[in-house]
Amino acid sequence: MNKTAFWICLVGALLGGREVGASGHGPVFGAATPTLGRGGWSIDQAYTFRGGDDDTQQMFKTMVSFGVTEDLQLSASFPIAMSDGHLAPARMMSAMSSDRELEGLVAYRFQRRPIGIGGRRESTVYVGGTAPLESRRNGLGGGPSFELGAATGYASRAHYVWVGGAYQQFTERRDDRLGASKLVTAVYGYRPPALRTETGKPDLRFFVEATAEDRGMTRVSGTETARGARTLFVGPTSLLLHKAVAVEGGVLFPVYQRVPDGSVQERVRVAVNVAYFFWLK
């Protein structure tokens, strides 16, 4: 109850702040290039669900982001609640960790070039890391990690195309080390003519997203043991923007997966994210 009251008070305080258009948001699973404007803030509340054969994993996580400049953004995420299962470790959302850990990311959009009427090409690089909130994860010592990623793509009033990739390397803890993660994502979005409304009107976009991840071998007591997971998920998502609020969600289904012995085969991944954009002054 205390935690619930805290979040109600926090959201209520933020709703009294100055609004800013919710234009700096992208797809829910894949990597994208948008960043917040100078002085802009956003709070994302994400819910994710992974379902397998007689096993599930759920997570509530919050991310706070700040736009230092038009092209430089700082983000930090932390878990509120999470249920464990016997599913193999996986990175569901490119911008937010799927584990019990604090995560910090710096996003720098180093390219933004106009193309045609209303179109632009953008490229963004991400650098960050994580710090676990538990001493052991999946029976292993869980150490901090370093992350490096990038995304590039094209966006217009009608079409959106992004491709991205990320690498996450974990450090050892008590002679154990989690396998490194190599993530590749692809996103195609479309906004029908009837939805290409004026600024300030509700803005609805539809996407098809794909995420492919290759997890390295885990190290136990200094020796590499079980192989990591290798997966490819594809599915539909959507994004609704209106004034200072963005609501997005979708579902992914496995096209290919290879999981370690003892892990459960996944059948579905679901994510819902609500974001609020504001200025403190």
Give CA–CA dist 103/169, Å, rounded.
Answer: 13
Structure tokens at 166: 């990320």
pLDDT given at position 221: 66
- What stretches of 116-158 adopt beta strand conformation (E)? 119-132, 136-137, 140-141, 145-155
pTM over 0.75: yes
Q: What are the CA-CA distances from residue 160 to residues 78, 153, 256 (Å)?
A: 29, 7, 25
Average pLDDT, the chain: 85
What size, in residues, is the chain?
A: 281
Band (1; pLDDT cuts 50, 70, 90): very low
Q: How far is CA 210 from the centre of its chain?
A: 13
The pair of three-digit structure tokens given for residue 168, joined into one six-digit string: 């996450």
Q: How far apart are CA 24 and CA 114, in angstroms?
A: 17
Identify which has the larger pLDDT, 198 or 39: 39
Residue 26 CA to residue 104 CA, distance in Å, equals: 18
Identify the weakest region by mean pLDDT among 18-22, 75-79, 149-153.
18-22
Q: Is the pLDDT of residue 3 over 60?
A: no
Backbone angles phi, psi at 116, to 5 degrees: 65, -150
Greater confidence, 178 or 39? 39
**What is the reported pLDDT for 68?**
96
What domains are there in the chain, each with its CATH number? 2-279 (2.40.160.40)
pLDDT tens-place string over residues 66-88:
999 999 999 999 999 888 777 88
